Structure 1
Amino acid sequence: MKANLVFILILVFIFFGYQDADAQRRRGKSKKPKSAKVVQTPPNVSYTVSMSKPWTHLLEVEMVMNWPQMPKKAEVKMPVWTPGSYLIREYARHVQDFVALDANGNALDWRKTSKNTWQIDTNGAKAIRIGYYVYSNDLTVRTNELNYEHAFFTPAALLMYPKGQLKAPSTIRVRPYRNWKVATGLPPVAGQANTFKAENYDVLYDSPFEVSDFKELKFTVRGKPHRYVVTGDGNYDLQQIADDTAKMIEECYKLFGELPYDDYTFILNTRGGGGLEHLNSTALQWNRFGFEPESRYTAFLSLVAHEFFHLWNVKRIRPDALGPFDYENENYTKLLWVAEGTTSYYEGVLMRRAGLVNANYILDAKASIAGRLYRQPGRFQTSLEEASFDAWIKSYRPDENSVNRQISYYSKGELVNFLLDILIRTNSAGAKSLDDVMRLLNDEFYKKGKNFTPADFQDAAEKMAGTSLDGFFKKYVSGKEEIDYNQILNQIGLQFVSLLPESDKGYLGGNLSESNGRLRLTSVPANTPAYENGLNADDEILAIDGFRASRRFLTFYLGSKKSGDKVKLSVFRHDKLMELDVTLGKTPASGYKIVPVENPTEEQKRLYRQYLDEDLG
């Protein structure tokens, strides 16, 4: 005990002796004045986009950068992708005639240091002017096009940014060709014609432009201004489109209780196809004669519903990796099945609630998706989370083997969200739904400045269901199990059936296309007779049992055969004639439908009506 006490006293003596000596050393040193902290200020960036010769397809870009802290070697970068489209697109490949000047017009030396980076020797200049052209002859919602009719451009595919300065504000002035008008979701700069401002690059790159002699129709929903801007002729009724769109916007307002923007612009080009979501606008493309008949018009409204719902789901309710963005690399997430699949599901929900389609439309659409999924062996190879994560290398690059290795996070995601909504409704006795999940994510993540994770989404769904959904998520989201539709559908009085059950009729199993009299295999699903008997994608089928093959004849001829019968196929493979003996298999079930169960209970009827606002039966 005494020894311990002595040891403690020695430690105390050493400690205080050190403190005293240290204090004396500090007193002996002269105080140095603290250096002033340098405040980093962002550059002042302005762009001018011109289009003096539309027939050349060259958009002319001038970028002026004023920066008191201009580095000796300034770097500007071109994004390699644009949010909402998960593929590295290498926009820099379209840049040409790059120049850099100081404020006096003196040329500055520059060099490329990577595929999308230009480095400039600034020579002490605090303001530099950069010029370049971008070849723009590709009309998609994620690229640029300039021609005799219009200019459409996606800023991420056109405008460079200063390295490390994605939070910097900027302005963009458009010099339209002749009498063309300019439309974008960006707010205008007061007193400056065709000039707009962005608070940062995430906003700038999220704001497409349409420049043309477009048609414009304005309308108001809940006091907020909206407009359609349309370039191109077609068999559309713009007033009808606006009226039907307003109904869907109203349903979104009812769901979330607000419209989180000051104004909204729908940019529509009547060529191409597809859409891309943005914070307060969307870019839509549709075939000019694709607004009739009613089925095609309904498909167009479905696209509108999808892109508009994105202004919550993805643009504000953000999955973990989707914002703020890295514009030079892939932004990986396992949640595209929510970003896109949930949004695809709400297309039909919004249209049904707006009275634009009936319940059968919803159920037939889901049955059709399920039928297509059954024809994809890839459903046993890739989960929804894996499909989401691998979108960058697979989704936009399908090949002949995709059917065997992949699924779509859009379509299977839509199915899983459909079933999840029903599961939440039935477990909560109709008190909660997927709507409540989306509202929770909006309130707890978007409004609190957070992104959500896969665990957050599952937690939100379980909170609304009032029970664990771990089995559901493990089977159908992170797992690859066959979906048991009836286990869930039966709870609201529905059943998933095949109108054409499996039969002994002869079956080959390859996917075919016919063009100019040539019958070709486009893909060969695994485990089909075509696959097991050695047929390959791109084989040209010339004859079956010595008879000239056409798609129509092949269907007729196989219809006369039975499972187990053998046929001889004559094919060209790489221009070499081959003959293959094929043993036919059974024709799988098809013609899937979702229909009412027999003798539904009152509870099933109640839940069904609450869900689809129609009586069951």
Structure 2
Amino acid sequence: MRVCRHIIGVFLCYVLAKGAGAYAAAPPSSEGTISYRLKPIWGNTPYLEITLRVPEVQNPCLQMPVWCPGDYHVQNFAQYVSRLRAEDGYGHALAIKRLDENTWQVQTNVAEDVVISYRVPQEPPGIFCENVQIRPDQVFVSGTAAFLYVVGEKECPTRLEVDAPKGWQVIVPLTPEQTAESVVYSAEDYDALTDSPILIAAPADLLIQQFVVDGIVHRVIFFDHPQEVTEPQTLTKTLQRIVQAEGEMMGGLPYSQYIFYFDVDGRGGGLEHRNSARLVYLPEETLTDFAAFAAHEFFHLWNVKRIRPKVLGPFDYVHPPHTRSLWFVEGVTDYFAWLSILRAGLITPQQFLAHWRRAIQSYMANPARLQVSAEQASWHVWDAGNSEGYEGLSYYDKGALIGLCLDLELRYVTHNTRSLADVMRLLLRRYAPPHAGYTEEELRNAINEVAASDLSDFYNRLIQTTEEMPFGACLAHAGLDADCEPIPGAAEEAIALRDRWLKGR
């Protein structure tokens, strides 16, 4: 009932005004749709003009995200909001009260339609992605940096209209609907809206490729400096092989469209989304580096976007969520990135093993390995503010090596019949939306279930302690020494395990 929801919304605003901590979200509305309109404005100081239409809410509270999912550091996007105004359905101005640095309340007194408008300028980039970039020839928007949301209404369906210059293309991984006046894009909720990067550019400033896997069109968009891409077809075929390999590994592709956004010579690294990814493309990088990077961001559509820690969705955009599992979210994703480009035939088994030899050597040369555990690096990343780790230990680096050890141990204890990929598929079935995400205990239990034995002590050693990792023992399962070189006279079982691991049989 809407009356109950409005009472809860007023209470939430009161709690926020009193400076309270976390709060319980109101149930989503089953009526109405929240609509956004985005228009870039150029001039001496370019900005985005954003209009937000909210149906029948009494005294709505508005909030701006503090952080961006996938970029684990505080950015406080509310600092860029200006000229915030509100009107009722008749165009009468409504008063707005600022409750804290991230929250505003519109004074309506009764439940009614509200039209909210505001501006956001070009913003500094995050660690992994542009936020709001407005240039003469293009606009790129990451949703959390641009869109306010209504407290208690994030689960309502949303619609987006982009007012682009005539002849420009709007590229966004949402479902389009042609109306009499414009194209409107639909998203199931606020999370889906902000998880959909928006690129606006003239066609001449884009290089667009595409390929089809399992009947699904995948678009590859090179922008910013597309003229510097000399072999787009080679890059596109590389992406196609990655998509095929990872789709086969995970049991199919869980989307109806996918977009690779490549910011040529851009800033930051890469940021994953449910059915897209924004990545920097550097023309001087090797094809192997390109493939491993793209494979990492693509595998995120499963690992973190669908297989996720419970606190990472639906998102609390104001209170940064802490999890001890970023080693799994990021590091294990990196393990699968290298495994998938091996499966795709983009590197040889020798190159694959050489990568892990270098990774082990680099890790062993890092003294932080003896002071910080994988769980600690994950939990304290907000303190470090680097979206990578804590006190010198990268959860990317250690997490990838944990993935290596877990995969080899699982193959060994199951007599070469199960692997870490079986764990991923189990987690996908059990914890992907609409189910809640997993806890740390449930992640460990899933590994034990696939192993059909208790690997808790092994798991805890890798994750919770600063003990040396058992590289020698794990690699020996595959007939390899600690330098990832074949052991002369290794047992047939070990050689068979290595062959299945490297050749994917």
TM-score scaled by length of structure 2: 0.88
Q: 2:234 aligns with which of 215, 237, 240?
A: 240
The partner residue of 1:384 within 359, 370, 374 is 374
5 Å matches for 1:121-520?
121-122=107-108, 124=110, 126-140=112-126, 141=129, 143-191=131-179, 193-213=182-202, 214-231=206-223, 232-233=225-226, 234-270=228-264, 271-287=266-282, 289-291=283-285, 296-394=286-384, 396=386, 405-446=391-432, 449-496=435-482
Distance 2:98 2:2 in 1: 33
| SS of alignment partner, residue 406 of structure 2 | helix
Shift of 1:178: 4.3
> Alpha-carbon deviation of 1:448?
6.5
Q: Give a deviation string over 1:103-156, Cα, whole Å, max 9, x none.
A: 333322222111111222225472222211111143452512111231111111
Matched residue, 1:48: 37
What secondary structure is seen at the aligned counterpart in 2 of 1:370?
Answer: helix
CA contact (8 A) 1:290 1:297 kept: no
Q: Which amino acid aligns with 2:416?
A: G
1:313 is paired with a residue whose SS is coil
Residue 482 of structure 1 and its aligned partner are, at CA, apart by 1.1
Do the aligned residues in 1 keep the contact of 2:405 with 2:470 (CA within 8 Å)? no
The Cα shift of 1:422 comes to: 0.6
What secondary structure sits across from 2:147 in the alignment? coil
* Rounded Cα–Cα distance in structure 1 between residues aligned with 2:433 and 2:160: 29
> Is the 1:608–1:614 contact (alpha carbons within 8 Å) kept by the matching residues of 2?
no
Contact 1:102 1:125 in 2 (8 A): no
Tell me how far 1:216 sits from its aligned partner: 1.7
* Identity rate, percent: 31
Q: In the TM superposition, what are the counterparts of 1:37-76 in structure 2 within 5 Å?
A: 38=3, 40=5, 41=29, 44-53=33-42, 56-67=45-56, 70-71=57-58, 73-76=59-62
SS of aligned partner of 1:596: coil
Letter in 2 for 1:75: C
Residues 130, 267 of structure 2: 8 Å contact kept: no
Distance 1:445 1:137, change over 3 A: closer
Query: Aligned ranges for residues 515-534 of structure 1 at < 5 Å?
Result: none
Q: Partners in 2 of 1:256 and 1:447 — Cα distance?
A: 16
Contact 1:274 1:303 in 2 (8 A): no
> 1:465-500: CA deviations, max 9, x gaps?
23221221222111110113111111211112xxxx
Give the AA of the match of 2:501.
Answer: Y
Partner secondary structure for residue 272 of structure 1: coil
Deviates more, 1:450-459 or 1:204-213: 450-459
Cα RMSD between the aligned structures? 2.2
Q: Alpha-carbon deviations, 1:449-479, whole Å to 9, x = none?
A: 1311222222222222232212212221111
Cα deviation code 1:392-414 (max 9, x no counterpart): 22251789xx6xx3311111000
2:343 touches 2:504 (CA, 8 Å); kept in 1?
no
Spell out, residue by residue over 1:420-455, the C-alpha distance to the aligned partner (whole angstroms, 9 max, x if none): 101111111111111111111112222671311222
Amino acid at match of 2:173: G
Q: Please say if 1:601 is aligned against 2:456.
A: no
Q: TM-score, normalised by structure 1?
A: 0.73
Q: For residue 607 of structure 1, what is the amino acid of its counterpart?
A: L
Shift of 1:268: 1.4
Q: Which amino acid aligns with 1:483?
A: M
Q: Give the equivalent residue in structure 2 for 1:98.
A: 84
Taking the aligned partners of 2:2 and 2:117, their CA distance within structure 1 comes to: 34
How far is 1:361 from its partner? 2.0
Q: Is the 8 A contact 1:58 1:135 kept in 2?
A: yes
Is the CA contact (8 Å cut-off) linking 1:188 and 1:197 kept in structure 2? yes
Q: Output one character per residue of 1:366-415: Cα deviation in whole Å (capped at 9) or x when no partner.
A: 2222222223222122111111111222251789xx6xx33111110000
Please report how far the alpha carbon of residue 351 of structure 1 lies from its aligned counterpart in structure 2 after TM superposition. 0.2
The Cα of 1:190 is off from its aligned counterpart by 3.5
Specify every segment of 5 or more residues in structure 1 that has no aligned partner in the other structure, as ranges.
1-35, 497-592
Aligned length: 472
Counterpart code for 1:354 = A
Alignment-derived partner of residue 578 in structure 1: none
Does the CA-based 8 Å contact 2:173-2:258 persist in structure 1?
yes
Q: How far 1:177 sits from its partner (Å)? A: 3.1
Pairwise CA distance, 1:342: 1.1
CA contact (8 A) 1:55 1:147 kept: no
Larger Rg belongs to = 1
Task: State the alpha-carbon separation in 2 of the partners of residues 142 and 344 from structure 1.
Answer: 22
Q: Relative to structure 2, which stretch is displaced further, 425-434 or 123-132?
A: 123-132
